[in-house]
Structures are given as structure tokens and as C-alpha cells.
Structure 1
Amino acid sequence: MTLNDATEVENRESIVEVELETVVKQAMDEFDYVASVTITHLMTINRLKTIEVRVYTGEADGVMDYLGLFGGDHRLTIDRGDETLLVPFGVHASYDGPVTWNSVEQTTIYMDQSVLGAKQVQLEDGLAYVRDKLENPEEWNQDGEHLVPLERIRNYTD
């Protein structure tokens, strides 16, 4: 074992794995009312680089407030069948929203029923949808469209 191999093993052992659902629910629990939640998933040639969870709420202190709910050693686990990715992430709150669009690098996973002009998205449906998007990037084209119509986000778990 080389020094680089030993360092990689040591770094991997200090990583705390966490599920996306856990992160989202903990972030939402910080507020009395959440209008929407989006996941920004930046990729480099189908390789996830980082994930950002954004909670849109009138209770946020600013446009992009970092919520220190997890440490720098935490990584989101993304199962891609033959490999499990450990992706760094951040959690932010914003009063500048809610965001209602989806793209190849952003997915709305929750939308409250009281948001005017937007269709409600149940958290369990949005989580299932974004998991599919993150675990199967080959099914998404460069325009951020899925081979199945976007309406699939509604009642995705059915």
C-alpha cells in the first residue's frame, strides 16, 4: 500500500454517509413553514460534483443562508447500481423563492399546496423523482428533459 492509498483509506474512513431524505427532512424541520425545496445537482460529464439542498421559506434570514446542520465530513450517498457515490453537499435556506422549474441540474422535490401558480409536489414523490435523476443520468438529455414526460414528478411513487 502506497502513501496515497493509505491517505485515501483514512479519508474514506472519516466520511459520514447520509441519505438525501434525512438531509431534506432535517432542513425542513428547522422551519415552521416551507414553501418549496429544490435540489441543485451539478454534474461534470454525468459525474456528480456537488449537491445543494435549498429550502425556500419566509423564515430565512437572507437570500442564501447556510444551515450548519451537517459537517464537512458528511457525504450524500447516491447508489448507481455498480457504484455508490459519496457526494459533498450543502444546505441553505432562502426567502427568495419558491423556485418552480426543473432542469438537468435542478429539481424541485417539494412544493407546498399554498404556492400560487405552482402544482403541489409531495416530498415522497419529489425524492423518488430526484433519486431517479441522480441514479440514472444516462436517461436525461442535455436539455434536462427525461425520456418520460416531466409530469412524472407528480405521483411518481405510484
Structure 2
Amino acid sequence: HQNRLAVAPNGSISYINDTTASLHPIINRIEERQESKIGKIYYPAPYLSNDTMPYYTSAYDMDMRKVIDIYAAAQEHIDQGMALTLFMRSTIPEGLYEWKNGKTDKMTTRDLNILRNYAYKKGVKSIYYIRTFTDDQQEVGSNECESCVI
């Protein structure tokens, strides 16, 4: 029993349990997933209603430093690394990151380096995935994004 404190798994397990994925923010108010055997499935955020809709912000519209801060706070209390995912838009909304002001609004490896260094300084042990939301409303993982490979 070397490791006793771990954060619950992310992804599919959270959908089965009708909850959010670990410490991750919600991806979208209603997330569309392609399941291999049954096709597309739509997962609304837990407790989503017309009354609560304004309170749900997509992970792609959040400053990832806030997510990193939450993971860093949790990391102090567990003895395993966590699967931290960065959610980035290929075109970063104006004002989201101060270092983008007056520069290109396209996501670059510089943005990823800034966030990676921020996470390191906060004590986060690793960044597990970087998920990108493209201008044509597609979600791209690191395996499909040639320009994301460093």
C-alpha cells in the first residue's frame, strides 16, 4: 500500500457516475463524445438547467492558471501525480492571458511553455494532456496536432 491518496480517474468513469472529471472544469455545457460501438453520446454537465446555465464556463474559456492553482493545492495532500489537462483554444480569447496582449491571438508553443513553467513552479508534477479547440469547433488531441508536438 505504497500509494494511498489519489485523485479519482477522469474521462469515461466520470460520465458513468454522472459527475465531472476529477478536478477538471467542465469541457462544455453539453459535451459530445464519439463512442466506438454506439456512436455519438451527449453528456450535459451535472445539474445543468436553464437556471444554472450561466454558471457553467467551458474549460476552453478559462485561464488555465486557475486550474493549475487548484491542482497545485490538491497535490500537497496526495501522494501520486495527477492527470492535469490543459484546455486551450487555437485562437485565444482577447484578454485571457496578459502576455498575449498586442501579440498574435493564435496559440503557440510559447503559451504552452509559460503554462508549463507556471505549473512547475506551483509544484504540479506533470501535465498529462493538452486538448485544443480549433476555430472550426473541433477538439484536437496532441496526437492529431502536428504543430503541438514539441
Shorter-chain TM range is under 0.3
- Could you tell me the TM-score, scaled by structure 2's length? 0.27
Quick check: which one's strand share is greater?
1
| TM-score scaled by length of structure 1 | 0.26
